[in-house]
Amino acid sequence: MVACVNWGFGMANTAKKAYPRIKCRGCGIPFYPTRKNQVYHSDKCREDHYKKIYYGQQEYQRTCPACGKEFSTTDSQQIYCEPECRKAAHTGECAICGKGGRMYGHRLNGCDESRINVCVKCLYMCKRIDAGYDRIYMDMKAQ
């Protein structure tokens, strides 16, 4: 007598249900779904469709602060039109020590109108001054 290996585990009927052929909601390719509620033919197609629906609808019109060129983007945080403009805007000469290289914007006393470009070394010094560490150190040294 031959015994069924899957007996008693609910796997006697392993034939798949055949669902009718449908079109993918993301790209329109016809496919046979493996579940009754499947509407995309792959996970990548589903993710791409959601990105297009939720993130690709709104376009922003911007003016590049480096070159002045008008451009449109779907990224709400993009400021510069090209990577070259971004790099050019972040390189220059430090307002404090005069060294050239990568610059970081620093607001003096938290004021937007007094924004200056400084190097990493001077930025660290400015942040210490803004936080009051150097004043505390100087007061302790004076005593």
Give the largest CA-CA distance in the chain: 100
Mapped onto helix, strand or coil, the DSSP state of residue 76 is coil
Q: Which helix (H) or strand (E) holds 30?
A: strand 30-31
Q: Give the start-to-end residue ranges of the domains of the chain.
A: 22-54, 58-89, 90-143
Tokens 């307002």 belong to 95
pTM above 0.75, yes or no: no
Q: What is the pLDDT of residue 134?
A: 54
Half-sphere exposure (CA, 13 Å, Cβ side) for 136?
A: 5
Instruction: Report the distance separating Cα 44 and Cα 65, nearest Å.
Output: 36
Mapped onto helix, strand or coil, the DSSP state of residue 81 is coil
User: What's the distance, CA 45 to chain centroid?
Assistant: 20
Question: What is the full per-residue pLDDT of the chain (143 aa) written as tens digits?
Answer: 454 444 444 444 444 568 899 999 988 999 999 998 999 999 999 988 888 777 756 778 999 888 889 998 878 788 889 999 888 888 888 888 888 888 777 776 666 566 778 888 888 887 777 766 555 445 545 55
Q: What is the pLDDT of residue 40?
A: 93
What sign does the dihedral 62-76-81-104 (CA atoms) show? positive
**CB-based contact 26:19 (threshold 8 Å):** no
Q: Which helix (H) or strand (E) holds 138?
A: helix 133-142
* Torsion-angle region of 88 (φ positive above 0: left; ψ -120 to 50: alpha; else: beta): alpha
